[in-house]
Amino acid sequence: MKITFMGAGSTVFARNVIGDCMCSEALRDSVFALYDIDGERLKESETILEAMRKTKGDYGKIECYLGVEQRKDALRDADFVVNAIQVGLYDPCTIIDFEVPKKYGLRQTIGDTLGIGGIMRALRTIPVMEDFARDMQEVCPNALFLNYTNPMAMLAGYMQRYTGVKTVGLCHSVQVCSSGLLTDLGMEDKLEGRKELIAGINHMAWLLEIKDKNGVDLYPEIKSRIDAKIADPDYCNKVRLEYIKNFGYYCTESSEHNSEYNMFYIKSKYPQLIERYNIPLDEYPRRCVNQIEGWKKEYAELMENGVKEHERSHEYASHIMEAIVTSKPYQIGGNVLNTDHLITNLPAEACVEVPCLVNGYGIHPCHVGALPVQCAAMNMTNINVQLLTIEAARTRKLEHIYQAAMLDPHTGSELDIDTIKKMVDDLIAAHGDFLPKYN
């Protein structure tokens, strides 16, 4: 079996996903093909993973492929392809995504999923993923593409609609959604045996039901505790608790993410909201700098002291592969096309996040039905931007980029149309060759 990792220079993530595979008896003897366009980062990943492989019993084989000219060989005969690329990296592209909008008075926290940052990230990533898809259809047409790159709904949605590659989008937030909420609210005694239903879109899927092991609805107790938590000046997850108060349900992704997915919290005319909700403006650039410095230190320590034992993480990738290889069923929260209206009050062409059964026949999304109307409405404000960004990538029409930015809840609530267009033009110019040409 062959497992190919695209963007293997993302060493920490590659270590987690491939390390998880090495923990699985069904997967550990695979060929692990590492692909990246950065030779130094690729070498670091190879060094770490080779050391990890030896600690895990010397099973399998690691192969490295550098640059576009070796991409087909990396993909050739792969059974699974994991995607974790970041086109343009932190420097220069993430810096551009934050600094250009800031000149227009538009502030962001993460900028990788929605908003003007998410739009730009999708537009520079989709052409690269189109290249991946063409290669896969030639050299590994039956492989399953497991996408971890953001913006998830735009990238996975494009692959699912406009390529022939079997694709599922995977995130980290579904697995820890309810446990994080219950722990934050001091309800750890309800964790064991709990039952939950989560559905919506990536980074804004809704915890529609949560019950304890005896089937008792936990939302009444949750709602009775949230005011005290929101009143805590040091608590940093207030936006999601406000979602419960105002929309009735908790959502999957963090408050720093969700503060920029709507028009409510980051408002230049209401600067007091930033402090009130502990919203970390410019969080992603800060995080990138810290991660880069942290990895340098960690890598030096690993080279000096050796690679530590890896314990299987909560990432879905290895469990999906294992379920398909062994035919032992496994449930995930997957990002899939809303075919046959899995969620009946969201568009069929939207990429939705729903429970999926995985077995020897692949990934089988589950029908959810209608979301509460207010939750569907919130999702639609994001889906509008996602669909228009996908349309811009497909048609190469500049007007669709303008429209996506105009309809973005945060951007549209802060800037007028002429300013939005000027900002988009400046971003396109600043990104240069990282973006294709638009008409």
417-432 pLDDT, tens digit per residue, is 999 999 999 999 999 9
pLDDT tens per residue, range 223-256: 999 999 999 999 999 999 999 999 999 999 999 9
| pLDDT value of residue 32 | 98
pLDDT tens per residue, range 311-326: 999 999 999 999 999 9
| Region for 121 from its dihedrals, namely left if φ exceeds 0, alpha if ψ lies in -120 to 50, beta otherwise | alpha
Q: ω into residue 151 within 30 of 0, thus cis?
A: yes
Of the residues 172, 203, 319, 431, only one is catalytic, namely 172
CA distances from residue 348 to 106, 168, 235, 252 in whole angstroms, order as listed: 32, 16, 38, 22
pLDDT tens per residue, range 255-291: 999 999 999 999 999 999 999 999 999 999 999 999 8
> Per-residue pLDDT averaged across 398-406, rounded?
98
What is the largest distance, in Å, between two alpha-carbon atoms of the chain? 61
For residues 405 and 304, the model is more confident at 405
Place of tokens 């087909």: 72
Residue 296: pLDDT band by 50, 70, 90 thresholds? Answer: confident
pLDDT tens per residue, range 174-220: 999 999 999 999 999 999 999 999 999 999 999 999 999 999 999 99
| pLDDT value of residue 304 | 83
Q: Where are the beta strands (DSSP E) in 84-222?
A: 144-147, 166-169, 195-201, 204-211
Residue 308: pLDDT band by 50, 70, 90 thresholds? Answer: confident
Please give the model's pTM, rounded to 2 decimal places: 0.96
Residue 390: pLDDT band by 50, 70, 90 thresholds? Answer: very high
| pLDDT value of residue 302 | 81
| Cα–Cα distance measured from residue 153 to residue 298, given in angstroms and rounded to the nearest whole number | 32
| pLDDT value of residue 303 | 84
Annotated catalytic residue 257: no
Q: What is the 3-state secondary structure (H, E, C) of 303-328?
A: HHHCCCCCCCCCCCHHHHHHHHHHCC
pLDDT > 90? residue 22: yes
Run of H or E including 183? helix 173-184
> Per-residue pLDDT averaged across 368-395, rounded?
98
Residue 309: pLDDT band by 50, 70, 90 thresholds? Answer: confident
pLDDT tens per residue, range 107-156: 999 999 999 999 999 999 999 999 999 999 999 999 999 999 999 999 99
pLDDT tens per residue, range 88-99: 999 999 999 999
| pLDDT value of residue 300 | 87
| pLDDT value of residue 407 | 98
pLDDT tens per residue, range 37-74: 999 999 999 999 999 999 999 999 999 999 999 999 99
Return the DSSP state at 217.
B
Place of tokens 């010397």: 58
pLDDT > 90? residue 349: yes
